Amino acid sequence: MRIGGGSAGGRRVRGRRTHRGEVGLRPTSSRVRLAIFSMLGPGDLSGLNVLDLYAGTGAMGFEALSRGADSAKFVELNEKRCKEIKKAAEELGFGDRSTVLRGRCERITKTLTRNFDIVFIDPPYANNPFAEVIGNLDGSEILNPGATIFAEHSSRTALEDRYGRLERTDSRRYGDTEISTYRLVNNEETGT
């Protein structure tokens, strides 16, 4: 996997291969990753904090750091992948701006305290934890005003148009992959 832009653009993030019988890694394709960052608009991401849930290789968080994000927190259940993300962060020069948490995203999203501007959610396609995970994000105070969530899912998985204060603002399909974008709206915008 190569980083598409920014200070580490073109550099490869190395990770171990999956083995037979192991739940496989399905990294976000470079096409989809670049489309997501294009949705964020031109310019760098300086001043923004990123949360990469179901991080896998860490591709989304690393792409954000390469494009200037102040920090990235990676959440991954697999212990070996957590070690690989830490190693890759150091190799890319992002070690001081990266934090890796091992555990279930459904639990960790209940305990986070840092404020985030961008959240990437990319669980295995066989799972559909979106209502719980997005509900946890909405129910906490960890999202900055105007925060954006990118939920990557199978095009066969239907997501809600709204989860509490998080409203779907866009949905784009790339083959079997769909990206649903949610934005945190404040009470004045919702009329509540």
pLDDT tens track for 56-78: 999 999 999 999 999 999 999 99
In order of start, what are the domains of the chain with their CATH numbers? 45-67+76-190 (3.40.50.150)
**Inter-CA distances, 84 with 77, 78, 116, Å:** 12, 10, 23
Pairing verdict, β 162-163 and 49-53: unpaired
Separation CA 131–CA 105 (nearest Å): 12
Residue 65 or residue 191, greater confidence: 65
Give residue-wise pLDDT tens across range 74-95.
Answer: 999 999 999 999 999 999 999 9
Query: Does residue 129 register a pLDDT over 70?
Result: yes
Determine the angle formed by the axes of helices 30-39 and 59-66, rounding to 10 degrees: 50
Average pLDDT for the chain? 86
CA angle (175 as vertex; 116, 154 as ends), nearest 5: 55
Query: Does residue 162 register a pLDDT over 90?
Result: yes
Closest alpha carbon to 67 in 128, 6, 1, 158: 6
Whether this prediction's pTM lies above 0.75 is answered by yes
Residue 39 or residue 25, greater confidence: 39
Chain Cα centroid distance, residue 170: 16
Q: What is the pLDDT of residue 20?
A: 39
* Residue 91 CB-density burial (10 A; 0-12 exposed, 13-18 middle, 19+ buried): middle
